[in-house]
């Protein structure tokens, strides 16, 4: 999936995506049922990182896994995992990984380059699909 498609999804869902200076690189918020994703573009290294971050934030939206500082670390981890799982199922589907493997990809960076995502997302997807 291309980065533009993720922005199209956000627009379709009426989720504003804004440049937001913060400590983190990305955040999603909900005020009175109005969702907004903040991306700290000045800290995002490239389009693969932007794509991965945006997908993870959309994952929070689609999986109803928003949280705040009052949540326990365990609850936060569960919500982060659900959002990340949505991201890699959307950007790194198992079938596509297998196709790339069959074509000769062997290293994390090769899969990441082919799919336009971060190596970290490839590693998370790989670990999930192996479990």
**Can you give the pLDDT at residue 131?**
83
**Can you give the pLDDT at residue 31?**
84
CATH code of the domain containing 33:
3.30.2010
Residue 116 pLDDT > 90, yes or no?
Answer: yes
The total domain count for the chain is: 1
Domain that residue 100 falls in: 3-130
Q: What order of strands is seen across the sheet that includes strand 16-19? A: 16-19, 34-39, 26-31
Which residues, other chains included, contact 37 with Cβ-Cβ below 8 Å and sequence gap of 6+?
10, 15, 16, 17, 18, 26, 27, 28, 54, 57, 58
Predicted TM-score of the model (pTM): 0.94
**Can you give the pLDDT at residue 15?**
98
120-131 pLDDT tens trace: 999 999 999 998
Least confident of 3-12, 26-35, 39-48: 26-35
Residue 40 to residue 20: CA distance in whole angstroms: 5
List Cα–Cα distances, 26 to 18, 55, 95, 100, in angstroms: 10, 10, 28, 29
Which one, of 27, 7, 13, lies nearest residue 62 by Cα? 13
33-79 pLDDT tens trace: 899 999 999 999 999 999 999 999 999 999 999 999 899 999 999 99
């Amino acid at each position: 999936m291309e980065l533009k498609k993720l922005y199209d999804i956000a627009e379709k869902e009426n989720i504003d995506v804004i440049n937001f200076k913060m400590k983190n690189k990305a955040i999603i918020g909900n005020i009175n049922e109005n969702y907004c994703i903040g991306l700290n573009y000045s800290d995002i290294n490239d389009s693969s990182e932007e794509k991965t971050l945006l997908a993870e934030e959309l994952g929070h939206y689609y999986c109803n896994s928003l949280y705040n500082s009052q949540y326990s670390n365990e609850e936060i981890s569960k919500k982060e995992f659900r959002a990340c799982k949505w991201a890699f199922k959307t950007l790194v589907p198992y079938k596509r990984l297998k196709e790339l493997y069959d074509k000769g990809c062997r290293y994390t960076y090769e899969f990441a380059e082919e799919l336009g995502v971060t190596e970290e997302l490839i590693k998370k997807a790989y670990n999930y699909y192996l479990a």
